[in-house]
Amino acid sequence: MHILVARTENKKAGRHASEQHQRQPPQLSDFRVLLREIMRALIAVFSLYICSAMAFMPTTLPSASRACVRTSAGRRRAGTRLTPMMAVDQGSTLKVGIVGATGAVGEEIVKVLGHRNFPVSELHLYASARSAGKSVATPFGSVSIEEFDLDKARGLDVIFLAVGGDFSKEYAIKLSATDGPVVIDNSSAFRLDPSVPLIVPEINQQAAKGKKLIANPNCTTAIGLMALFPLHVAFGIKKVIMSTYQAASGAGAEGMDELKAGIASFVKGEPVKNEFFAYPLPFNVIPQIDVFTDNLYTKEEMKVTWEARKILGVPDLPVSCTAVRIPTLRAHSEAITIETERPVTPDGAREVLGKFPGLKVVDDPAKKLYPMPLTATSVYDVEVGRVRQNIVFGDHGLDIFVCGDQLLRGAALNAVIIAEKL
């Protein structure tokens, strides 16, 4: 079935201070107080800007680029990129459910469905009992939040799971069994299950054909592979070394709330508390995401290795990742080094990357143009830049820098595109 889719006043010092006062050197403590007040003011402005942007910035269409898009007939057409891999048929409408609809990913799925004109005839939003009965505005009208009911949910056509792995393990198979709906699971529950396809639509959508349960990759994996896959096709990848700089929203709405509350506490001169993260995140980086495994990599880091191998279809691909949590609200960044099987040049890599749907090459160092969370937030395309020859691997190596909105490409957008293409 083909389905259409698509943020001091400055007072002058008094000129008539006493000569004795003028001759007194300023005290170090005075400088410290002044510096702290300046920092507080700057942080307050920054915090206000970021929070406002996050609250009011709409999800934008991908930027125009040289890349091609697939038309409804499957042809490639040069020009302004529309939403990636736009599907074809508006004739059918679907009953859609979202479990975890009040979370960060669930809310983004609702927005993306509306933005891409997904043909929804009924929208069911499932959340906890405390949220049940509340009415929320959606692109499809006002919808009342419901408690999850397995039997009722099985009467839908497509269900997005934007909840933890425990829920998915209990209900995903029951939902999708026999005549149940297609289930697209954003948790890690089934990603490594050999019988469940792990999908990035631009890379391996064909693996989802005929499947009722489909896994969405880890956000870091999905963003990185958008750049790695076309390079792999063109030059062959022998090794991948990755360092990630992951935003607070990668930990969900609670992560964003704790970061914003921590910044506000710092501005007020109050202690910065941490409950969700291992340490206070404001003005800090934490080189641990998820638990440590026996090999001293974290589980988040190993997810990148395991999932990249499965999606690319290279089960023994050497992939090493270091994952770091940083104090930004949205959009993950990744510094990636690859060794290639065939010679590669920066210009050749840029050409390949620029033709891949869902990617935007932002790479003009002379003009200070490169990928950043600031420009990748709330944007469908993944930004790639800082493309350069790696000085260790020479003409068989490349360094790149990637930024992508993990709530979109790393979660909601990826899930919706999967549904569009089924």
The contacts of residue 303 (CB under 8 Å, 6+ apart) are 188, 191, 218, 220, 221, 290
Instruction: For strands 397-404 and 213-215, give the pairing.
Output: unpaired
51 among known catalytic residues: no
Going by the DSSP 8-state scheme, the letter that residue 141 receives in this structure is E
Ranges of beta strands (E only) in 19-107 are 68-70, 76-78, 94-99
User: Which contiguous run of DSSP H or E holds residue 51?
Assistant: helix 28-56
Question: Of residues 115, 124, 232, 332, which has the active-site annotation?
Answer: 332
User: Which contiguous run of DSSP H or E holds residue 333?
Assistant: strand 332-340
Dihedral angle at the C-alpha atoms of 291, 276, 110, 200, nearest 10 degrees?
Answer: -20
Report how far residue 287's alpha carbon sits from residue 295's, in angstroms, rounded to the nearest whole number: 15
Residue type, position 370, single letter: Y
Question: Of residues 219, 232, 396, 403, which has the active-site annotation?
Answer: 219
Q: At what angle do helices 219-235 and 346-354 cross, to 10 degrees?
A: 120
Report how far residue 400's alpha carbon sits from residue 364's, in angstroms, rounded to the nearest whole number: 13
Instruction: For strands 382-389 and 359-361, give the pairing.
Output: parallel
68 among known catalytic residues: no
| CA of residue 181 relative to chain centroid, distance | 26
The contacts of residue 227 (CB under 8 Å, 6+ apart) are 336, 353, 359, 382, 384, 400, 402
**Contact assessment for residue 195 and residue 142, using Cβ atoms and an 8 Å cutoff:** no
Backbone angles phi, psi at 188, to 5 degrees: -90, 5
Instruction: For strands 94-99 and 158-161, give the pairing.
Output: parallel
Report how far residue 336's alpha carbon sits from residue 399's, in angstroms, rounded to the nearest whole number: 6
Nearest to 327 by CA among 359, 373, 368, 371: 373
| Residues designated catalytic | 219, 332
